[in-house]
Amino acid sequence: MTTPFFPRRTLISLAALLALGACNSDNTTTSVDDGLKAKVQNIVVIYAENRSFDNLFGNFPGANGLSAVIDANGKPTAAYVPQKDRNGTTVLATLPQTWGGVTAPGISPVVTAAQSAGLANQPFQVETAFKATANATLTTSTVTRDLYHRFFENQMEIDGGKNDMFAAWADAGGLTMGHFDYSGSALYKLAQQYVLADNFFEGAFGGSFLNHQYLICACAPEYPNADTAAAKPTIAVLDTDSSGKYLPRLTTAATSPASALDGPPVYVKSGNITPANYFGDGKFYAVNTMQAPYQPSGVAPASIDGNNNLYANTAAATTLPPQTQKTIGDLLTAKNVSWAWYGGAWNAALNDGTQDPATKRTVIYAGNSNGIATTSNVDFQPHHQPFNYYAAFDPVKHAGERASHLKDYNDLVAAAAAGSLPAVAFYKPEGVYNQHEGYANLTDGDAKIADLIAKLQASPQWKNMVVVITYDEFGGVWDHVAPPKGDLLGPGTRIPAIIVSPLAKKGTVDHTQYDTASILRLITRRFGLDTLAGLASRDNALKAAGGTPMGDLTNALNLQ
């Protein structure tokens, strides 16, 4: 369902509408499929970082935004569910401090933790919230501190759909309730011109690592025998119910402050791996950040002897074993459909990663001296490159596949200009341009992505192109909309998505229910691929919970 910004409403009886749908449903499906095949030749996915929908687009006209919970004077409405303390019942008198301070190290103006105290228990605008306490006005060029965005913490924050425990379980305290006025940005203007999806959720609970994996396989990576592995990966410690079944709730440590007003939470272990059988199949899965087994990786090579420099040290606790699940790449290749993943600074990171392990990295996880990404310190994030975790891209056994499918941003720009983009292209900006809290700002990424859109619009392939701009996950930031009840992987918090295309239903807000894997659904439908198991299991779980399956983004397009 899409809504124009200034809709002219046409009344039609429900009976007539149902009758029309009954007569035309099959024909409509066929028409959409035919339209996809005839009109869509290229699908481009631009994957930014760590923003909830309300954080950026809460004031967007026609969208389900902040006006649902705060009035024109910024006061909470009856619909706002206030943030509660860690006992789950007490309403917080104020928001907690932003522990560690609002602004990232080295960023001016400085807003300290003490200067962030006392904010009302409600959403607030980041730019102006600290004028009285710190004489500071922030902007979308300000780098704010990072916030927890992890698998179990996200579920604890969502609290069964009430979204009332973000301030309790976020390590950053009150900052989780902040939002920006993003209306002056290039992406906001693109959303006004094309289609903004306001019911789009991160596919998996938690953070970037897992949601990048979900984007390509609708699954979580496996770590076989994690409990006995010599590398000793960290396994989360969870509460259990009376029958011993694991709950999606981390066990708090005895030293954890009882109240969110007294300090950030402390857990026995917020590990990277689920306990065995959390998902009911007796296996261990990686749900928080692990590193790729191949360079570029956050784990250096064990040595540079022979081909060792092409691999990460397998003895490290965070090195994930090579993955073998079926991905969208496998399905595209099986159908002879061209595709590639383009990483910002990929070539530079590859050179950086294959150096002697004693050499300091200058690209991989390398911001400036304060950990901030800059154009000189691009801060490449290897856990944002999901295909690099798969055995199909082993740098020795499958060097040809790597060269064909894992490419640099400059290759994307060149292909767009030449009219030789593959049928499916994924683009991941490097740290400085990905908009991630803690090391990047909003402005730089906004400009980079808008520039790429302009280059795509100038491409000979533009007339048959669909571009999806979205975010990997919520970044620890509150959103007022409850995620639909799905499976044990997700979906998690609502995130922004913009559909940019000459085929878009321009100037509309699309209210269709989507998640990250709706991108995979669109690719699957357009190219006639087999359905990944995770897509079917997600939709089955949604229906079993009384909900509806996820859309495939075709509602945002004029295809008939």
Full-model pTM: 0.94
What per-residue confidence (pLDDT) applies to 12?
Answer: 37
Residue 3 confidence (pLDDT) above 70: no
CA distance 443 to 425: 24
Residue 299 confidence (pLDDT) above 70: yes
What per-residue confidence (pLDDT) applies to 7?
Answer: 39
What per-residue confidence (pLDDT) applies to 30?
Answer: 78
Phi, psi for residue 412 in degrees, rounded to 5: -65, -50
DSSP per-residue string spanning 322-358:
PB-S--HHHHHHHTT--EEEEETTHHHHHHHHTS-TT
What per-residue confidence (pLDDT) applies to 28?
Answer: 67
CA distance 114 to 101: 8
Strand spans (E) along 118-218: 124-125, 178-179, 195-197, 200-201
Residue 259 confidence (pLDDT) above 70: yes
Q: What pLDDT band is residue 18 in, cutting at 50, 70 and 90? A: very low
Judged by DSSP in three states, 46 sits in strand
Residue 29 confidence (pLDDT) above 80: no
181-211 pLDDT, tens digit each: 999 999 999 999 999 999 999 999 999 999 9
Mean pLDDT for 509-515 is 98
CB of 498 closer than 8 Å to CB of 190: yes
- Which alpha helices (H) appear in 7-120, and where do they start and end? 14-39, 53-57
Mean pLDDT for 331-336 is 98
465-498 pLDDT, tens digit each: 999 999 999 999 999 999 999 999 999 999 999 9
Q: How far are the Cα atoms of 19, 184, 407, 427 from residue 191, in angstroms, in the given order?
A: 34, 12, 28, 19
Residue 451 confidence (pLDDT) above 70: yes
Measured in whole angstroms, how far is the alpha carbon of residue 23 from the centre of its chain?
Answer: 39
236-250 pLDDT, tens digit each: 999 999 999 999 999
Percentage of the chain exceeding pLDDT 70: 95
Residue 287 confidence (pLDDT) above 60: yes
373-423 pLDDT, tens digit each: 999 999 999 999 999 999 999 999 999 999 999 999 999 999 999 999 999
What per-residue confidence (pLDDT) applies to 509?
Answer: 98
Q: How far are the Cα atoms of 75, 209, 344 from residue 301, in angstroms, in the given order?
A: 54, 20, 22
Mean pLDDT for 20-43 is 78
**Exposed, middle or buried: residue 403 (CB in 10 Å: 0-12, 13-18, 19+)?**
exposed
CATH number (1.10.3210, 1.20.1630, 3.40.30, 3.40.720) of 30-59+181-221+290-556 reads 3.40.720
Residue 131 confidence (pLDDT) above 80: yes
Residue 23 confidence (pLDDT) above 60: no
Percentage of the chain exceeding pLDDT 90: 94
224-233 pLDDT, tens digit each: 999 999 999 9
What per-residue confidence (pLDDT) applies to 170?
Answer: 87
Domain residue ranges in the chain = 30-59+181-221+290-556
Q: To the nearest whole number, what is the mean pLDDT of the chain?
A: 95
Phi, psi for residue 535 in degrees, rounded to 5: -70, -45
What number of other Cβ atoms are within 10 A of residue 89's Cβ?
Answer: 7
Phi, psi for residue 387 in degrees, rounded to 5: -65, -20
